[in-house]
Amino acid sequence: MVSIDGLTALWDRLLDAQPDPPPLLVVLTALVALVVVATRLPWQIARNAVTIAHEGGHALAALLTGRRLHGIRLHSDTSGLTLSAGRPTGPGMILTLLAGYLAPPLVGLAGAWLLAGNRITLLLWVAVALLLAMLVMVRNAFGVLSLVVTGGVVLVVSWYATPQVQAAFAWTGVWFLLLGGVRPVVELQRLRSRGRMPASDADQLAGITPFPAFFWVAVFALANLAVLGTGALLLAGPILTEAGITG
């Protein structure tokens, strides 16, 4: 059995704030994330994390709006599918469709908020908990493998890595989600212009609202850029403090 002292120590470890990271770490992790998002092969590999957040956003919105969630599928080509049942129109369906492209940067923003308070361990454990919660909704083998591997990496870093490694990992991951929310919207519009995504989230939204698909693509883009800017300000806290701009 786990002792009271052990649980207290575990709780303290979870909630304790780590020291401020050096400003150079904030800058370097942002550059690493930007390179991953901007270059082809690293993006193809890391994009799976964006897909996990995208499909998780659809799933959470479906549950919160009272729709019946049938499952999530994650594919090796970094595409995904979330199936839910309910009214084919109305606010619930609109919010469910909206949530996909908005979810990755919003998850990144939540992570930036935790990092602004130096809650690195809490951030990593919350990420593991969310991945485990999503695991029960996945309905294909690659999806299970993807979530288990991703969650396993985060858990190992949170439990065994040094505070410096944890900080670098957490800041890189949050920067990646913030920046990585923009590129899929650009790819979406590029594929739509070529007629290769006739059933995209934007096109489905166009089918159940008075607004055209391009309007919804613009909503995705503007919202994600706004979230990126807000998250960047939160993550830049150590730099601003070093420069004497904040207290």
Domain assignment present for 86: no
Output the DSSP codes for 190-241.
HHHHTT--TT-HHHHHHHHSSS-HHHHHHHHHHHHHHHHHHHHHHHTHHHHH
In the prediction, which pLDDT does 11 show?
A: 58
- pLDDT for residue 32: 97
pLDDT grade, residue 152 (50/70/90)?
very high
Answer with the residue of higher pLDDT: 17 or 76: 76
Residue 159 included in any domain: yes
Spell out a b/e string for 117-136, using b for 16 or more CB atoms within 10 Å of the CB, else e.
Answer: ebbbbbbbbbbbebbeebee
Is the pLDDT confidence value at 82 over 80?
yes
94: confidence class by pLDDT, cuts 50, 70, 90 = very high
pLDDT at 149 over 60: yes
Cα end-to-end span (Å), the chain = 45
Q: For 162-218, what is each residue's pLDDT tens digit? A: 999 999 999 999 999 999 999 999 999 999 988 888 889 999 999 999 999 999 999
pLDDT band at residue 21 under the 50/70/90 scheme: confident
Q: Pick from 176, 136, 203: which is nearest to 49 by CA?
A: 176
Tally of residues, the chain: 247
* Environment class of 205 (CB within 10 Å of its CB; exposed 0-12, middle 13-18, buried 19+): buried
Residues 178/184, Cβ–Cβ less than 8 Å: no
Average pLDDT for 28-35 = 97
Q: Considering the domain boundaries, does residue 130 fall inside one?
A: yes
Tell whether 65 is covered by a domain: no
Please give the biggest Cα pair distance in the chain.
61
pLDDT for position 205: 97
Number of domains in the chain: 1
* Average pLDDT of the segment spanning 219-228: 98
Rounded Cα–Cα distance for residues 25 and 27 (Å) = 5
| 44 occurs within a structural domain | yes
Rounded to an integer, the average pLDDT of 76-91 is 93
Which structure tokens are listed for 214?
Answer: 């391009």
pLDDT of the residue at 200:
93
What is the residue range of 177's domain?
Answer: 20-54+104-242
pLDDT of residue 128: 95
Residue 35's pLDDT is what?
Answer: 97
Q: Is residue 85 part of a domain?
A: no
Beta strands (DSSP E) in the chain are 68-74, 80-85
Whether 202 maps to a domain, the answer reads yes
24 or 246, which is more confident? 24
User: In whole angstroms, what is the distance from residue 113 CA to residue 105 CA?
Assistant: 12
- Does 76 reside within a domain? no
What is the predicted pLDDT for the residue at 42? 95
Residue 7 pLDDT exceeds 70? no
Please classify residue 192 by burial: count the beta carbons closer than 10 Å to its beta carbon, then call 0-12 exposed, 13-18 middle and 19+ buried.
middle
65: left (phi over 0), alpha (psi -120 to 50) or beta: alpha
Identify the band that residue 239 occupies on the pLDDT scale cut at 50, 70 and 90: confident
Q: Which tokens hold the place of 35?
A: 């390179």
